[in-house]
Chain A
Amino acid sequence: MATRYVRATGVVTRRIGGETVLVPVRRGPSERNEAGLRTLFFLLNGTGEILWEQLSSPQLEDDLARRLITEYEVAPQQAQEDVSVFLRDLRDAHALEVLEE
């Protein structure tokens, strides 16, 4: 069984001050805190932007890592770790859907 990841619906992205801001909207119980008015959001760095771009269609984790290796000449283990952390963080924030095939 292969696991693919794809952007969830209702995730808002915008370029602000030269950075890509990503805000998952209406995504289940969260730690959003009105008293502190903290909003759960992500700032995507260069690799994050590439990964998010790829996730417009369902992707295998290994394919995402291969893209980083090609794009940034990153060592394979580092690429795997970066992708794993990225997917975990966005999945926990309900910004990604997980498709089991």
Chain B
Amino acid sequence: MDAGSTGGREAAPDVPHAARETLLEVRGPAVGGVPLVHRLPQGWSGAASPGRPWAGSRVDDEPLVLTHRLGPASVEGLTQFARGPYPLSAYLLDERGAPAIVSDVGGAPRQCLRTLRPGREYELSYERVPERGWEWVWQRALFMLALPARRRGLLVHASAFLLPDGRAVLCPGSSGIGKSTLAAQIHSDFGHAVPVLSDERVVLTLDGDGAPRIWGTPWHSTAGLAEAHDGLLVSIVLPSRGDVPSLTDVPAGEIVPRIVGAFALPFWDDVATDWALGVVDRVVSAVPVRRFSYRPRPGAGIALVEALTAVATP
């Protein structure tokens, strides 16, 4: 069993009951500074990695524990409050008001992620060991629940990269907004000289002095870009189409909806949501937002990095 690999072997379906009760601890690569510890039944592998190549971020927080259980993925005691997007079926709350997520799409054997200790420990039950490729869905969902629960940070629907000085640029927005295209353009022009943290999802945390920090994640999009680095957030860029590369200010009325809509707010918990909105407020008040108009072609990424470097505050 190799926690750092891209995926493990599928387990034999018949795991002796006694073996099922014995749990091994496997430390997985960290995301957003948070190491993930898997507790797995003896003799079972396949879910101890993000399912994608991921070296792991540096670690600066307490571990997040995920216990994997083979058996009925019961929803007893859970109340649904929202539908989930494919492949997740529903969001639910337990008697404590802690969140759970269920997947039983298309008649597939049910899987259920439950909160044991908010922000610290969760349990993922499988009626059958899932096929490979599901790990990243559940691990992304896990971090979406755990990060705000421990007041660590938030997942953001965004691409991001690091300027040559190591500070981060964030490109938030929903699918189709052009953030993955922009990330791909940066990578095409610079390669690893300008690390692209992600073309799809990043983690945002606040340092001790309240400064926003961006971390790469393994949950990339079609461009396949993911780097386990992090940097202080210095600029937010909204991509748009234009013939000549240009970096301009964004009208005030556009900023808040674009930024708020990109954050995975903990919408199951009003206290946590209030905290999360405070994080968003910190980002909006501290980080300039600009529009980058360009046409995807060689050199457009260079133009953006040069323009941002010129305007970035020291």
Contact = CB atoms under 8 A, between A and B. Distances in A.
Interface of A: 10-12, 14-19, 21, 23, 25-41, 43
A36 B267 contact: no
Interface in B34-79: none
Contacts of A28: 81-82
The 4 closest A-B pairs by CB, nearest first: A35-B85, A37-B157, A14-B277, A17-B284
Contacts of A36: 85, 157, 174-175
B263 interface: yes
Interface residues of B, number: 41
Interface of A is mostly: loop
Given A21-B256, A26-B270, A28-B82, A16 B157 contact: no
30 contacts: A10-B270, A12-B270, A12-B277, A14-B277, A14-B281, A15-B281, A16-B256, A16-B277, A16-B280, A17-B252, A18-B256, A23-B265, A23-B273, A25-B267, A25-B268, A26-B81, A26-B267, A26-B269, A28-B82, A29-B81, A30-B82, A31-B83, A32-B91, A36-B157, A36-B175, A37-B157, A39-B260, A39-B261, A39-B264, A39-B267
Contacts of A41: 260-261, 265
Nearest to A14: B277
Contacts of B280: 16
Contacts of A30: 82-83
A1 B284 CA distance: 45
A34 B84 contact: yes
Given A16-B280, A17-B255, A39-B260, A32 B270 contact: no
Contacts of B261: 38-39, 41
B281 A29 contact: no
Given A18-B252, A43-B256, A29 B265 contact: no
Contacts of A34: 84-85, 88, 141, 144, 264
Given A16-B277, A16-B281, A34-B144, A39 B82 contact: no
Interface of B: 80-86, 88, 91, 93, 141, 144, 155-157, 174-175, 201, 252, 255-257, 259-265, 267-270, 273-274, 277-278, 280-281, 284-285
Nearest to B83: A29
Contacts of B141: 34
A29 B157 CA distance: 22
Question: Which one of A12, A30, A40 has the highest number of Cβ atoms from chain B below 10 Å of its Cβ?
Answer: A12
A41 B258 CA distance: 12
B144 A14 contact: no
Contacts of B262: 37
Contacts of A23: 265, 267, 273, 277
B269 A38 contact: no
B256 A29 contact: no
A25 B260 contact: no
Contacts of A18: 252, 256
A21 B256 CA distance: 9
Contacts of A21: 256, 260, 277
Contact of B284 (A11, A16, A29, A32): A16
B263 to A, nearest CB: 7
Given A17-B255, A26-B268, A37-B156, 9 more contacts: A14-B281, A19-B256, A25-B267, A27-B81, A32-B82, A36-B175, A37-B155, A38-B261, A40-B267
Contacts of A16: 256, 260, 277, 280-281, 284
Contact of B82 (A14, A17, A29, A43): A29
A45 to B, nearest CB: 10
